[in-house]
Chains A and B, each alone.
Chain A
Amino acid sequence: MSKPLLKVEGLKKYFPIRKGLIGKTVGHVKAIDDISFYVNEGETLGIVGESGCGKSTTGRTIMRLLEPTEGVVEFEGRDLNSMSANEVRKVRRDIQMVFQDPYASLNPRHTIGKILEEPLIVHGVSNAKERREKVVEFLKIVGLSEYHAKRYPHQFSGGQRQRIGIARALMTNPKLIIADEPVSALDVSIQAQVLNLMQDLQKEFNLTYIFIAHDLGVVRHISNRVAVMYLGKIVEITESEELYANPLHPYTQALLSAVPVPDPNYKKEQIIIEGDMPSPANPPSGCAFHTRCPFKMDVCTKITPVLAEESTGHSVACHLYTQEGNDDIDRKKQLEGSV
């Protein structure tokens, strides 16, 4: 049995909203608000959701690029909070990140060789020859060549730059890679190359991925399990096959039906939800999706549904599946009757 490599418990990240000259805090953007999940060794957990729902903040908080407001992040069974600075540095080698825009994250004034060498220097590989060999080795692993080491980022295409971003993440032999929209900026033909590369590397190095994206097709392709986020919360999480075959949360259902399918013969039932995503600075009361939900009940505006297991390995946060919701039963019956 695989065991959790990473465990996240009750993680929160609130950004203060400041106003006025002295920057008085007038409120908070609850970018992530009490999320919990785990990732098993060797698997890929996909995180999907629309712009601003907190996907990147989740990744960055796990990486400690952002200080969490609250919550526990455990890596290999150990709480990152309780570690010494030295231990945290060691763990840093094991968790690496790949970003959406490889161009913005590569220093334009450095050669690729230098960019790839840097993580080795940071982590104390002092032998220059060893470092150079490793750079060449990883350039080849991601499908580039030795001579590319002398070139600068602007001399590469988008797909090649993303390969460099991946090579950089691999330099320290990490166990977990958090990939934040790694193919979103790429053309489809190039996207397929990078996705295939990531899958090959996962097998070769027994990597664990957290794969963040807004494209449900891409996420399904690469993930074993998928978490769906809405307004700073995980609203549903389960095996990827199960999620696509049997989505439980009304938001997941709407999201799946909104994705255009490249097949003109495929007639799907479209659930078009009205309205926009509310602001995370001022989320609706109760269930944050109630302003757009076609199944909204009275209880939904009052009580926030918590993520709970509905069937084995399939959790959902929605009153259609809670006791409070069932108490609202007349209304629910009425809705079911109308579908």
Chain B
Amino acid sequence: MSRLRDMLEGGEFVVTGEVAPPRGTDLAGMHAAVDLLAPHCHALNVTDNQGASLHLSSLAASKALLERGIEPIFQQTCRDRNRLALQSDLLAAWSLGLENLLVVTGDDPRAGDHPHAKGVFDLDSTQLASIARGMNEGHDMMDRDLKGGTGFYVGAAMFPEAEPWDVQLARIEQKIEAGVRFFQTQAIFDMDKLQRAVEAVRPLGAKVIAGVLVLKSPRVIDFVNSKLAGLMVPDAIADRIRRAHDPADAAIALAAEQVASIRDIADGVHVMPLGLDAAIGRILGGAG
């Protein structure tokens, strides 16, 4: 049973974290991160060739988490596979026991470590969500019955701070209509914008897990602003970290404040510690 689903649908506040599979076959580093994060989180996202760069598959890494008794959120991007491969991986995921699914579009390949790759984008994330819902109902995207369907708890990404809001709102409604039950947001800096998103989503019956990014150094801020698509650190926040005597410490304090605010607004928090995994306890304010 998906604990993520049970808690969210039962109105309990959830904490999720995130790990990246290795660029290779040695899972030790990932497990080390998992060991730090898992005691504080209800489920962990396992990214899919994140940043359009080569990693071990989310499918195998999610299964590895499951074997250690940790609940994964299996991420699938539309960038690297066509509709046959995506559906086949969804069937594989369910057969391996993966119950939480997060569908995302995927970064442009030119931003990654294989810039000459063809971006597939045979489907977009909304279409993939609706296919997953169809599989939950026992059929593939061609409406043909499956010998054994799936039962995914389907999530998608949400971008409360990426204006224009009317466009984002329409996207959110589309995704919910496609079968998305929970959203994980891009990192939140403006709590009013998170509030606005939650108010839009709640009446439609879906849940919002708000993202917190730990901006552990000025370098990370520069990276986010220049390299991460769809995200900008506001000046006031960037200045606070840049001016701090101990930027990592200031970043942890800031993240803890954000988590505290999010507890009052959203259905959960998704922590992206960017390497400061050991600080997760402090970030969550001792709770979680």
Physical interaction between A and B: no
* B binding-site residues for A, Cβ under 8 Å: none
* A binding-site residues for B, Cβ under 8 Å: none
